[in-house]
Structure 1
Amino acid sequence: MYKSVIKNLALVLIGTYIFSIAVNSIVIPNQLGEGGVTGITLLLFYIFDISPALSNFIINAIIMLVGWRFLEKETIFYTIVAIISMSLFLEFIFLPSFIPTNSLLGPLASGFLIGLGIGIVILGHGTTAGVDIIALIINKYLGLQVSIALLILDVLIVIPLTIVIGLEKGLLTLISLYITSKILNFVMEGYNPKKAIMVVSNKHDEIAEEIMKRVDRGITVLKGYGYYSKAEKEVLYVVINRIQLIKVQRIINEIDSNAFVTVTGIQQVLGEGFTFNLDQSHNIEENEVI
């Protein structure tokens, strides 16, 4: 248990450190904006010269006092650590400013580091508090979807920021926010996202045999029914990684080019072959999938 706590604390501290470097060394020197509470702190800094560290701590503390009941106890603890450490890092950690001649490099760099930082904090079972909690409150009392609430809140923050920093900087801020979301998803889902394939074919036995032999993945056979043909169908279901997808598609085309195939993305896979193994002889292959 203690090892887990130390690991999570380390992740939260590393994540907030990276986040703070991005704000102090890239966002502020390039007069860019951000979404969420960070955007509000930047707005206060640009207009009134209020310390981002101070405003970040006060705003997030107020949000936590109002919305703590929407978080699990473990998340509350690590979120408090994140708020305190982020405020301290914003106040005391300064690296040389990165002000590139190419204006696009600023938002690309800040978006990358902020997404990386937030992702690491979340991996440590924490959050950066902020508008995420407000979105949960809006969802409960107004019935608005969390994603829609977050979008509205970010827009309400970015619009006044754009008035202050100018249209060009505002557009660059949108680029930074987009990069942040992509990097955050990358950190959370990993570099090798999983895919689920469903195959409907009269040669399902041959296809399943070849996939097991050449790709070494388990396959689930589902019972299907063709409403138009009024015939029972065997449907193959297999979860693989992105690298194995090409190999599986090749196998299907070789055996039955008329097979009906769907491929969908999967955010997370739990269970045998992905989070634990019953057959140790499959360790190498399954580690590749993870």
Structure 2
Amino acid sequence: MIKEEVGNTNGRHGLWRDNVRTISTYLGIAAGSFIFAFGLNYFIIANGLAEGGFTGIALIIHYLAGWPVGTVLFLLNLPLFFIGWKMWGKTFVLKTILGVAAVSVALDLTQGFGLKTHDLLLAALYGGVLSGVGLGLVLRFGATTGGVDIIARWINEKSGISMGKIYFLFDLFVLSMVAFLFGLEKALYTLVAVGVFSQVIDRIIEGFDEAKAVIIISQAVPQISQAIIKELDRGATILKGQGAYTGQDKDVLYVVVSRYQLLRLKNIVQEADPRAFVIVNDVREVLGEGFRRPG
């Protein structure tokens, strides 16, 4: 009887956690959609700039015909829903519809909010940052935004052309259209916005937990590893290596530290072995003990 009650309690707790996670996901997608829409309307559209991908196509149609951007974006994606359903199944399509619908509704609801400025560079920078943060949140919470994502994935599976090349060619096409229709200056400022937008999305998806991965080859690996544990409160891994020229066995120490701890780590190595060979690599995101937890 006791075991049954415990099992029921664990089941209720698990169901509660699942419900909280689901609600958080929908709230995150909604928040991201509105941040994206606000950045696009307030800075990009208000100053006649554009974007890459299907959003750029929707903006061009909006400028030429006056149609609502969100509605146009959703209509452009409709044929791709059927391709996604046929190629990758119901789950993929439902996530895509969710992402596209949330962004489209947010764009139309925030239409008319804008800051007209003579400094198009500031508009491109702030518009790129805000829209990048918003779309990054939408993607991070599990929704997809269709458009070029579906086209690139489909072409990649059919022909083997890399998705990166397809994204580049599509954005180049959109920017060429902007330059032809609205002038080279608008296209160049749009390019700035697209660049900032892409970088911010990468940061949101991959995380801000920048760290340094350090490889240390030294005769004093045991002393260095102990100092890292005591002084930096970090773990480390000792690997076994062999010198290619000498054929001698060597200890190789692998450790990940925050960028603020890198200088202290260098000092530790220098004090223990001034002749140590040290390699430092950038790490975008670290999950685990001492860093951000997974999930």
Q: How far apart are residue 266 of structure 1 and its match?
A: 2.8
Asked if 1:88 corresponds to 2:105, the answer is yes
Give the AA of the match of 1:266. V
Asked if 1:182 corresponds to 2:199, the answer is yes
Q: What TM-score does the superposition give when structure 1 sets the normalisation length?
A: 0.88
Q: Which deviates the most, 17-26 or 248-257?
A: 248-257
**Alpha-carbon distance between aligned partners in 1 of 2:274 and 2:90, rounded to the nearest angstrom:** 53
Q: Which residue of 1 aligns with 2:265?
A: 248
Give the total of aligned pairs.
278
Q: Is the 8 A contact 1:112 1:179 kept in 2?
A: yes
Q: What TM-score does the superposition give when structure 2 sets the normalisation length?
A: 0.87
Asked if 1:114 corresponds to 2:131, the answer is yes
Asked if 1:50 corresponds to 2:60, the answer is no
Q: How far apart are residue 101 of structure 1 and its match?
A: 2.9
Asked if 1:154 corresponds to 2:162, the answer is no
| Residue-by-residue CA offset, 1:77-108 (whole Å, 9 max, x unaligned) | 33322211222222222364112232211001
The CA RMSD over aligned residues, in Å, is 2.2
Give the unaligned 5+ runs of structure 1: 278-289
Q: Which residue of 1 aligns with 2:154?
A: 137
| Residue-by-residue CA offset, 1:39-67 (whole Å, 9 max, x unaligned) | 11011122233321221011122222212
Q: Which residue of 1 aligns with 2:77?
A: 60
Q: Which residue of 2 aligns with 1:207?
A: 224
Give the match's secondary structure for 2:50. coil
Q: Which of these residues, 54, 74, 78, is aligned with residue 95 of structure 2?
A: 78
Q: How far apart are residue 254 of structure 1 and its match?
A: 2.6
Give the AA of the match of 2:218. S
Give the match's secondary structure for 1:29. helix
Give the AA of the match of 1:24. N
**Alpha-carbon distance between aligned partners in 1 of 2:229 and 2:182, rounded to the nearest angstrom:** 57
Q: How far apart are residue 242 of structure 1 and its match?
A: 1.9
**Alpha-carbon distance between aligned partners in 2 of 1:250 and 1:182, rounded to the nearest angstrom:** 33
Alignment of 1:17-36 (within 5 A): 17-36=34-53
**Alpha-carbon distance between aligned partners in 2 of 1:147 and 1:71, rounded to the nearest angstrom:** 20
Calculate percent identity across the aligned residue pairs. 33
**Alpha-carbon distance between aligned partners in 2 of 1:247 and 1:41, rounded to the nearest angstrom:** 51
**Alpha-carbon distance between aligned partners in 1 of 2:86 and 2:212, rounded to the nearest angstrom:** 35
**Alpha-carbon distance between aligned partners in 2 of 1:214 and 1:70, rounded to the nearest angstrom:** 53
Q: Is the 8 A contact 2:207 2:285 kept in 1?
A: no
Q: Is the 8 A contact 2:210 2:286 kept in 1?
A: no
Q: Which residue of 2 aligns with 1:281?
A: none
Q: How far apart are residue 226 of structure 1 and its match?
A: 0.7
Q: Is the 8 A contact 1:194 1:269 kept in 2?
A: yes
**Alpha-carbon distance between aligned partners in 2 of 1:57 and 1:163, rounded to the nearest angstrom:** 25
Give the AA of the match of 2:126. A
Q: Which deviates the most, 34-43 or 73-82?
A: 73-82
Asked if 1:194 corresponds to 2:218, the answer is no
Distance 1:247 1:86, change over 3 A: same
Distance 1:71 1:198, change over 3 A: farther
Q: How far apart are residue 121 of structure 1 and its match?
A: 0.4
Distance 1:276 1:106, change over 3 A: closer
Distance 1:228 1:246, change over 3 A: same
**Alpha-carbon distance between aligned partners in 1 of 2:256 and 2:274, rounded to the nearest angstrom:** 20
Give the unaligned 5+ runs of structure 2: 1-17
Q: How far apart are residue 261 of structure 1 and its match?
A: 1.2
